[in-house]
Structure 1
Amino acid sequence: MHPDDFVPPATPAATAALELARAYHSPSLLNHVVRSWWWAEAFAALEGRNGIDHELLYVSAVLHDIGIAPAFDNVALSYEEAGGHVAVALTAGAGWEATRRQRALEVIVRHNWPSVDPALDEEGYLLEIATGLDISGARPDVLPADFVSAVLEAHPRLMLGEEFGTQVADQARRKPDTSAHRLVTGGLAAKLRGHPHETAG
């Protein structure tokens, strides 16, 4: 397995999603969302999940944390729900039908669930385990080590631990009824500090 095995969709929605992430995320957060897509695709390949909507997965992965960006930080909604609505607006502009736009919202919201049943939502499941790997260090030995190293070399973690931890803690303080609070009380800061990829990227 090599990063070149997975090619981003060459579609208006995918291109626009990456442009939006580049414009509003720091380099650390940008690398995180792109890595999350690679991890999700790699998990899909390893598990033989052949029915994936790859464009939906890419757009959802690249935009899954856009709700943390100050420009899209909703006063009441959780950051994943706010980001899901950004994805709805972007994909509407790209011509997606309403049901598929709703799927982007669902996948992004579900990435912050404690777990997602793949029978319910395969793309949501893949993004949840991918972000679980990149943020909490879950399933650190499942993907091939050379593949992980190549992705980290291309998109290093930089200051992800400090930046993401601070931003989610701020979300938890201002919106204590959202998943950000669960992440913080569940030891997010410690998981980021002790992440197995920190020394690799």
Structure 2
Amino acid sequence: MPTNEVSSVVVPDSKLAREVTQLIRDTESELLFNHSVRVYLWGALLGKQKNLSFDPELLYVAALFHDIGLTSTYRESQLRFEVDGANAARDFLRSHHISQEDIDKVWTAVALHTTPGIPEHMHGEVALVQAGAGMDVAGRGFDHFTDEQRTAVITAYPRGADFAPRMIDAFYHGMKHRPGSTFGTFNDDFLVYKDPRFERVNLCSIILNSNWEQQTAHSKPDC
């Protein structure tokens, strides 16, 4: 059974943390739940290493909500799954009368966790959710952790030998009904990998065929 402390990182055990834990356990598969707690642990470990300022409870809430948008609850949504998760976290925190400033941090952390190049320049909670997710899914920053730390985390919250294909499946099933939401992100990689019929949207084609270009073409005098 998971303990309240993993590799010197304490898993929050406040009333708020217990409630979000139960909500996510009831909503997500074991795959996504364990992944989400590991995201918190990797993020908190990195935060301690880098001496970043962050609120563990806010980081925990953001980490647990970050993939809820992939669940069946959102099978009709056309929003980006990250935004569904951010909105769910916002509503949960509002119901607990958390300050708007802290809600904004959590919303941003969840919404931007798949957006490279930006979160690392923002609040600690925002930076660490993205860093933790990158570590757990793709091994980004793998060597920043010791063997003991990695073993402790995956022992407490198992990853499983088949994590990679199962996680790809989770991404695919969470987004296949809203392919348009993947434009401008790397999330379309999951659709391309799983569905050979999927065609990426090409921004250059959009620009070259925009109304501006059509208008220009029509306004050119005949030779």
Of 5, 13, 17, the residue aligned with 1:14 is: 17
Bigger Cα displacement from structure 2, 28-37 vs 175-184: 175-184
Match for residue 159 of structure 2? Answer: 157
**Structure 2: gaps of 5 or more residues:** 194-223
User: Quick one: distance in 2 between partners of 1:186 and 1:173?
Assistant: 9
CA contact (8 A) 1:73 1:79 kept: no
Match for residue 215 of structure 2? Answer: none
| Residue 186 (structure 1) shift | 7.6
- Across the aligned residues of Structure 1 and Structure 2, the Cα RMSD in angstroms comes to 2.4
Match for residue 108 of structure 1? Answer: 110
Match for residue 179 of structure 2? Answer: 176
Sequence identity, in percent?
22
CA contact (8 A) 1:116 1:128 kept: no
> Which of the two has higher C-alpha Rg?
2
CA contact (8 A) 1:59 1:104 kept: yes
Listed one character per residue, the Cα deviations across residues 88-130 of structure 1 (whole Å, up to 9, x for unaligned) are 1111111102232222111101111123343323211111111
**Structure 1: gaps of 5 or more residues:** 190-201
Alignment partner of 2:82: what SS? helix
| Residue 59 (structure 1) shift | 0.4
User: Quick one: distance in 1 between partners of 2:54 and 2:48?
Assistant: 10
Count of matched residue positions in the alignment of Structure 1 and Structure 2: 188
Opposite residue 47 of structure 1, the aligned amino acid is K
Alignment partner of 1:23: what SS? helix
Listed one character per residue, the Cα deviations across residues 128-160 of structure 1 (whole Å, up to 9, x for unaligned) are 111001111211111111111111112111353
Opposite residue 176 of structure 2, the aligned amino acid is R
User: Quick one: distance in 1 between partners of 2:136 and 2:191?
Assistant: 15
Match for residue 83 of structure 2? Answer: 81
